Amino acid sequence: MIEIRGVSKIFQEEKAVTGLSLTVPKGAIYGLLGSNGAGKTTLLKMLAGIYRPDTGSVKVGGQPVYESPEVKRSLFFMPDSPYFFQQATMKSMAEFYRSIYTQWSQKRYEELVTVFRLDPRRRLSRFSKGMQRQAAFLLALSCKPDALIMDEPIDGLDPVMRRQIKNLLFQEVAERELTVLISSHNLREIEDLCDHVGIMHEGRMLVEKDLDDLKADTHKIQVAFRDVRHAAALESKLQILHQEQRGSVSLYIVKGERERISQAFHVYDPYVYDLLPLTLEEIFIYEMGDAGYDAQPIIL
Ligand SMILES: Nc1ncnc2c1ncn2[C@@H]1O[C@H](COP(=O)(O)OP(=O)(O)OP(=O)(O)O)[C@@H](O)[C@H]1O
């Protein structure tokens, strides 16, 4: 559905995105993670047809986005702060979107107005930040796009609304194979929502995987050896993302196949060996550390 191939974007001297490729299959929910300034918003704006890529191609349904108004009408882009016209109400924004999106569903709009309990005649500028977010979702879903592209969409929503919106997204994906691309720093949200994840850093894609595969590929291991000198030998055999000592127990974050890792450790006959589940937040921090983007101590 979404195919980005070798895309680059430079602003003045600033390389925002460099030779990046990404694929999102139809009906998938893809989470785009990355450090601040990694190029996520720039990538989303190229995908939405707002920026023209300097090199490479951005296609949706096989058609290039930037050149095609028709393809743009099949997408809905939600920027990190919702944009509405001055003086606009939800009703007037609905009229605007209805005139642009041929797939607009008035029935869906009315259903959603009832669910969200927002007054369609009230000025959007008088809504709270969270209510504006809700209004943006409501309008986006009423447009019935084939792909929904969202930059930091969860910010400012209360937990009940988050669950509500998550359920609505799942429903759209299950019923009509909506394709979703979300950029977020909220890893817990991404973990709950997404089936594919990409991690960006300095304009490039560091890792791109199925979330289950990503978790299956990175492991947290607690181990204690009878002879501590064994630890050094392991470094040449395994891709260790992180290691720390907690008394006599060592904690390792290791990339690779579970069985192979277990075999490598068991050569040294550890008296403790536990494989523990890893959260997406841990994977993110260790992957970024591996790319040289470590959390430095900031207490001065
Ligand atoms: N319009 C612009 N003009 C000049 N430089 C820009 C512009 N937009 C983005 N950049 C630069 O491109 C790089 C990537 O920015 P971008 O906003 O895409 O990152 P991001 O991953 O969305 O960051 P964050 O997570 O902090 O929101 C940054 O170095 C930024 O300064």
**CATH number for the segment(s) 2-202:** 3.40.50.300
Residue for token pair 């925002």 = 16
- The number of residues making up the chain comes to 300
Q: Is the CB of 39 under 6 A from ligand 1?
A: yes
Q: Which residue puts its alpha carbon closest to atom 18 of ligand 1?
A: 39
Report which ligand 1 atom has the smallest distance to the Cα of 45: 18
Q: Where are the domains of the chain?
A: 2-202, 217-290
Sign of CA dihedral 127, 31, 25, 160: negative
Per-position pLDDT tens, the chain of length 300: 899 999 999 998 889 999 999 999 999 999 999 889 999 999 999 999 999 999 999 999 999 999 899 999 999 999 988 889 999 999 999 999 999 999 999 999 999 999 888 999 999 999 999 999 999 999 999 999 999 999 988 777 888 888 889 999 999 999 999 999 999 888 888 888 899 999 898 999 988 888 888 888 889 999 998 876 767 778 788 888 888 888 889 899 888 888 999 998 888 888 899 998 788 888 888 877 777 766 554 444
Phi/psi of residue 11, nearest 5 degrees: -105, 120
Residue 95 to residues 62, 131, 133, 134, Cα–Cα distance (Å): 30, 19, 18, 17
Which of 11, 33, 200 to probe ligand 1 with, by most ligand atoms within 8 A of CB?
11
Q: Whose CA is nearest to atom 5 of ligand 1?
A: 11
* Complex ipTM over 0.90: yes
- CA 284 and chain centroid, separation: 12
Task: Please state the pTM of the whole predicted model.
Answer: 0.85
Three-class SS of residue 32?
Answer: strand
Residues ≥6 apart with Cβ < 8 Å to 261: 219, 221, 238, 254
Report the distance separating Cα 199 and Cα 33, nearest Å: 5
Which CATH number among 3.40.190.10, 3.40.470.10, 3.30.70.120, 3.40.50.2300 corresponds to the domain 217-290? 3.30.70.120
- CB of 261 closer than 8 Å to CB of 240: no
Question: Residues 240-250: pLDDT tens digits?
Answer: 888 888 888 98
In this structure, how many other beta carbons lie within 10 angstroms of the beta carbon of residue 242?
15
Q: Are 31 and 212 in contact (CB under 8 A)?
A: no
Give the pLDDT score at 295. 55
> Closest ligand 1 atom to the C-alpha of 185?
25
**Cα separation, 72 vs 97, whole angstroms:** 13
Residue 36 sits at the vertex; the CA angle it makes with 34 and 39, to the nearest 5 degrees, is 65
